Amino acid sequence: MFKRDLRPDSWLFSFLVSSLSRSLLAFAALAENQTSKGFAPVTIETPRHMLEYVATALDWWHADRYCEQHFAQLLLEPQDSEQASLSQLLQAHHIGGSVWLHERGSVLHRPKWRRDHIVPVLVFGDKTNTKYVKVLSDFPALPAVTACAHLQWDTRTQEIATIFSYAVPAFMNEFQLRGFVDEEGFVRFALIVHGHHSPYLPVFRADRQWHHFCVTWQQENGTWAIYADGKRRASASGLCAAGPSAPQAISGQGTFIIGQDQDSLGGTFREKESFSGNITDLHIWHKVLSTEQVERVRSCWVVEQDLVFGWSSNALEVESTVQEVTTQFLCPGPVEECRVFEVGSSGFSYTSCLQPLPFICCYRKDAYWQLKKAQQESSHSLTSRVNMLAERTVIPENVFTSDVQDMNLSVALGALDVVATVLREGETPVLEASDLLAVLQLLKQVSDVEVQEGEELEMLEQLGQYYVEVTELILEEQNVQTWSSVSQVIRGPMTVVELCDRMVSHLAPLLTAGRTKITIQHGNIGMEVRKLELGRKELSSEAYLVHGPKKGRHDLIEVPAEEMQRLKARGLRRLMVKNMWFGYGSLQRCLSGAGGTAAFQATAASDGGEKSLSTSVGTAVISSALLSDSQEISTSVRYRLQHRVQDMPNRLVGPVCAFWNFSLSPDAGGMWSTAGCSVVTSLLDSTACFCNHSTNFAVLLQVYEMQRTTKEELTLQTLTFIGCGVSFCALTVTFILFLAVGVPKSERTTVHKNLIFALAAAEALLMFSELAKTNQAMCFTVTACLHLFFMAAFSWMLVEGLLLWSKVVAVNMSEDRRMKFYYMTGWGLPVLVVGLTLATSFNKYVADDHCWLNVQTNVIWAFVGPVLFILAVNTFVLCRVVMVTVSSARRRSKMLTPNSSLENQIGVQIWATAKPVLVLLPVLGLTWVCGVLVHLSIIWAYVFIVLNSLQGLYIFFVYAIYNSEVRNAIQRMKDKKKALSFTNCSHPINYLSSPRNTTSWETGKLSPSAAESALPSPVPKDPPVKNITNKGNFGAKIPMGISSIMSPDRPAVELTAFKSSAFLPTVDT
């Protein structure tokens, strides 16, 4: 077909049409050969697999498709130890030569088979100085450039020809590509940039065939390359590299001419430098394409990113003598090399994936016999009705012997129409296993259909509607048992999702400038494809909203606006989004019953209050994927899915955000995974999730058996709240006492105050953390603060242990240096741990249902790990203190009461052991060891909560009420107050001039010296010096059993960080 009514009287145009026709005929012959019938597969049994040798030679892509459509896999490359045995096994069945293999660790993404591409072709006849084509496009400055085109070279002349030239006012030879045919029959190319000329190098043979070329150049180092037919033929650096006197880039706003060299801007052509031949599909980018992108362009796929000029007749100014023909161009096929097994030599090799070779399909034994059983037990009722209605074979009766068929759009549409009609009538309400497999085989064939340019696109949209309808019909509830019976063959029901994902990609040609979204929904299945332009200034999130069967309820998945901005910053301008939705139905029931959630159950975490019973898919399955140049781009997504309200007595239902990972457990077709996904908000009837990647998502409902009753949980929560409240008040009072009563400053008082402050802050946040659950940002902040203050509390408990150790063991470190070390440990360590945790696990930091660290991931170890280390250190310190105390008590007992009875000695040692344990347990945090035993019994949960929630109250009683330093400070304040009031009632003498007077008051009475000094006298009399500090001002009110320990006649060195007048261990000095 001609673009204009021009008579093709030149030999070159005739050659163009004839070469295209020969290519089409050759391709048709190849397709016919690849779908030929009459072969007899050879079945071979191995210990684990069934092998089926197919003698019909197919290219690698068709061989892989054949095995897939027969529910098998192309034989995987054997291990080194298995090569010889496999070769012998094949030879024993008279199989030799080369067979295709699927290479381990390699993923070959099958490109489109050689496409019929309808394009305008420019036919340059004989060399003249008049024929040219001007590109009507504004060119920016190009610091990097790639130009690609398909070319057919005129071999009648060996003169230099200019394929294209780009000139700017300041320089004519700004960017140019030239070539000629050498004496050996090769076409040589040379690239010119800023007038600098690369050498002429051979790139392809002058064989009158179509060849694809790409030339690249970049300003940095002047690196350039020439590709021909997908292979790099030449490359070097230094071609007009950036320098002080060199331009920084190819200048913009120039004139681009195809077929002529410009000696003046846009004109002055010379015949001997003109081009003679055919050219089409010229594209120009302002970047250097990768080798993979060059291969994609060679196969007629346009790379949209950074495209400056795309081939279009509307963007060309064609001189009248240049013939422009719109014709069907057969794009080159893939050039990949695939793995081959040489039977007999037990070796491997590579060859072009397009070469036809025999191959072997591999079945798992259980799948093979399940497939055989389904085939033998089949009544073929559905198959016969479909074929009868279509008056041809739409579904083969035996899935083992069916051929690989390259369907066109019309055949695929007719086949699905008939199948949908038969299934819709419902004469076979429950599908047989063989019928289900036959329909799935047909869906696989349709999902591989090649949409050729020029076909009626209305059929494509109708094909999508039939595809969705047939998929929904085979997923109806009555067929759930049938799905289970063939689960080994099809590798799980998510196969349907994978097939629909292929199908939705075929809807892309329907997208135009006036129609940017295509949506197809039938019942419980929906699919959508849309086109996005990132060039607009304001970018919003791209959402896919699906309304469910109930009014007012809908499911949603969206790509956040910040992700769209990130993609725009990467230079992407056009994207395609494909979305799918599978409403709650038999697909979910099949997934729940097919073992797809078993692996997830094994990794579920429990805090001891509940036991995981089961996990099921509780919502629709929804997916979203972004593509650029047919390549998927991973982005984060947010989605909200509706689920049914679960009413289960003594059961807890917890939502889990998950995605289906096809690469996990390939034999089972994949499994659910939670990697990168987290719950944002969870309500009774819906759950919102965030995932840092795009794929197929759902919300799993995990059912727990409550090992604690609701009453027990309420009791534990009440005890926790009351205990934390009492502890917070006690800690607050203790902290105020330390600040207000003037306790002398020392290492131990500083450590006390920091510990009390951190613990009080943690207790206060814990009490009110439940109020922050509804606000995501607030909950995150509360969790981080809880993590910080609890870590700080334990760090200062560690400091308490270190301080205690310094009292037992001589430490050669000054007090100033010790305090710096203590502050670094007490506050620096928590800040470091929390900061690192947030930096490495920001998206999985918070738990799903409360404001605390996520126990489902390793984040919880950022708290548990340091705590276990601190508890281990403090346990060692406590053991050492107990040993010292017991040893000291034994020596004192022998010195003071050498003739005491054995019972008294045992009592002294027991008390010497119990005393430091009772005093030091709360400040060293050792009561938290009970948390390890919580999962064993509810009793341990009560013990743990009581001990730790009352930790602050315990500290208040032991280290404030019975702390001699605090009591003495309070007494000094009272003495000062009484002395001041007494002085005001008598002569205003300087009574408080001597500090010793502040300690002369005993239990409610004045000492004689004090009384004398209180009488009116012109000269005050100092009282006698009497050191009663160690006795304690409230000694008369303390029980005898306690006060007797505090005898001033026993000088001692106190070991603990708190100076308790009642419970402190001592050693003789």
Q: Is the dihedral of CA 889, 894, 896, 901 positive or negative?
A: positive
The whole-chain average pLDDT of the chain stands at: 75
- Most confident by average pLDDT, 34-38, 281-285, 859-863: 281-285
Q: What's the pLDDT tens digit per position in 625-674?
A: 988 877 788 889 999 998 876 555 556 677 889 998 887 777 777 888 88
| Contact predicate 943/930, CB 8 Å | yes
- pLDDT given for residue 932 in this prediction: 59
Cα distance between residue 255 and residue 169, in whole Å: 9
| Tokens (6 digits) for 454 | 């020029």
Cα distance between residue 680 and residue 641, in whole Å: 12
If one compares 708 and 202, the residue with the highest pLDDT of the two is: 202
Q: What is the dihedral of CA 979, 985, 988, 994, to 10 degrees?
A: -20
- pLDDT given for residue 836 in this prediction: 92
Cα distance between residue 705 and residue 651, in whole Å: 5
Question: What are the φ/ψ torsions at residue 422 (nearest 5 degrees)?
Answer: -65, -45
| Contact predicate 556/545, CB 8 Å | yes
Q: What's the pLDDT tens digit per position in 77-119?
A: 888 778 888 888 888 888 888 999 888 765 554 444 455 667 8
| Tokens (6 digits) for 473 | 């019909």
The secondary structure of 173-208 as a DSSP string is: EEEEEEEEE-TTSEEEEEEEETTEEPPPEEEEE-SS
pLDDT of 6 higher than 50: no
Helix (H) or strand (E) holding 196: strand 196-197
Cα distance between residue 791 and residue 759, in whole Å: 9
Question: What are the φ/ψ torsions at residue 1007 (nearest 5 degrees)?
Answer: -75, 160
Cα distance between residue 173 and residue 263, in whole Å: 8
In this structure, how many other beta carbons lie within 10 angstroms of the beta carbon of residue 241?
A: 15
Which amino acid is residue 88, in one-letter code?
A: Q
If one compares 426 and 256, the residue with the highest pLDDT of the two is: 256
- pLDDT given for residue 909 in this prediction: 61
Q: How confident is the model at residue 194 (pLDDT cuts 50, 70, 90)?
A: confident
| Tokens (6 digits) for 1034 | 């409230």
| Contact predicate 242/49, CB 8 Å | no
- pLDDT given for residue 586 in this prediction: 67
If one compares 72 and 864, the residue with the highest pLDDT of the two is: 72
Cα distance between residue 702 and residue 19, in whole Å: 64
Helix (H) or strand (E) holding 188: strand 186-193
pLDDT of 738 higher than 90: no
Residue 619 carries which DSSP code?
A: S
Averaged pLDDT for residues 457-471: 88
pLDDT of 1064 higher than 50: no
Cα distance between residue 654 and residue 648, in whole Å: 12
Cα distance between residue 442 and residue 412, in whole Å: 9
- pLDDT given for residue 935 in this prediction: 55
Nearest CA to 578 among 521, 507, 510, 513?
507
In this structure, how many other beta carbons lie within 10 angstroms of the beta carbon of residue 1001?
A: 19
Cα distance between residue 672 and residue 663, in whole Å: 10
Share of the chain above pLDDT 70, in %: 73
| Contact predicate 798/926, CB 8 Å | no
Compute the half-sphere exposure of residue 661: CA atoms within 13 Å on the CB side of its CA. 15
What angle, rounded to 10 degrees, do the helices at 861-896 and 776-808 form? Answer: 30
- pLDDT given for residue 176 in this prediction: 92
Averaged pLDDT for residues 930-959: 70
- What Rg do the C-alpha atoms of the chain give, in angstroms? 43
- pLDDT given for residue 900 in this prediction: 59
Q: How confident is the model at residue 956 (pLDDT cuts 50, 70, 90)?
A: confident
CA end-to-end span of the chain, whole Å?
113
Residue 507 CB contacts under 8 Å (≥ 6 apart), including other chains: 460, 461, 464, 518, 520, 527, 529, 578
- pLDDT given for residue 1069 in this prediction: 28
Q: Name 574's bridge partners.
A: 533
Q: Name 615's bridge partners.
A: 702
Q: Is the dihedral of CA 357, 363, 368, 370 positive or negative?
A: negative
| Tokens (6 digits) for 963 | 């702390």
Q: How confident is the model at residue 908 (pLDDT cuts 50, 70, 90)?
A: low
The residue with tokens 């096929």 is 333
Cα distance between residue 700 and residue 680, in whole Å: 14
| Tokens (6 digits) for 970 | 């309070």
- Most confident by average pLDDT, 378-382, 407-411, 441-445: 441-445
Residue 85 CB contacts under 8 Å (≥ 6 apart), including other chains: none
- pLDDT given for residue 53 in this prediction: 92
Q: How confident is the model at residue 1004 (pLDDT cuts 50, 70, 90)?
A: very low
- pLDDT given for residue 897 in this prediction: 64
Which amino acid is residue 658, in one-letter code?
A: A
Averaged pLDDT for residues 435-448: 88
pLDDT of 467 higher than 90: yes
- pLDDT given for residue 1062 in this prediction: 34
Q: What's the pLDDT tens digit per position in 811-825?
A: 555 667 788 888 999
Cα distance between residue 625 and residue 639, in whole Å: 13
Cα distance between residue 473 and residue 420, in whole Å: 8
Long-range contacts of 644-649 (CB under 8 A, 24+ apart): 644/584, 644/618, 644/685, 645/684, 645/685, 646/618, 646/701, 646/703, 648/703
- pLDDT given for residue 993 in this prediction: 39
| Contact predicate 497/580, CB 8 Å | yes
Averaged pLDDT for residues 483-488: 84
Q: What's the pLDDT tens digit per position in 235-294?
A: 888 887 655 555 578 888 899 999 898 888 888 888 888 998 999 989 999 999 988 888
pLDDT of 789 higher than 60: yes
Alpha carbon distances (Å) from 604 to 505, 589, 704, 793: 36, 21, 10, 30
- pLDDT given for residue 233 in this prediction: 86
| Tokens (6 digits) for 9 | 């009287």
If one compares 945 and 348, the residue with the highest pLDDT of the two is: 348
- Most confident by average pLDDT, 278-287, 430-439, 485-494: 278-287
Lowest mean pLDDT among 425-429, 594-598, 706-710, 729-733: 594-598
Q: What's the pLDDT tens digit per position in 346-389?
A: 678 888 777 889 999 999 888 898 888 888 887 777 888 888 88
| Contact predicate 57/356, CB 8 Å | yes
Quickly count helices (H) and strands (E) in the chain.
27, 41
Averaged pLDDT for residues 723-746: 82
pLDDT of 693 higher than 50: yes
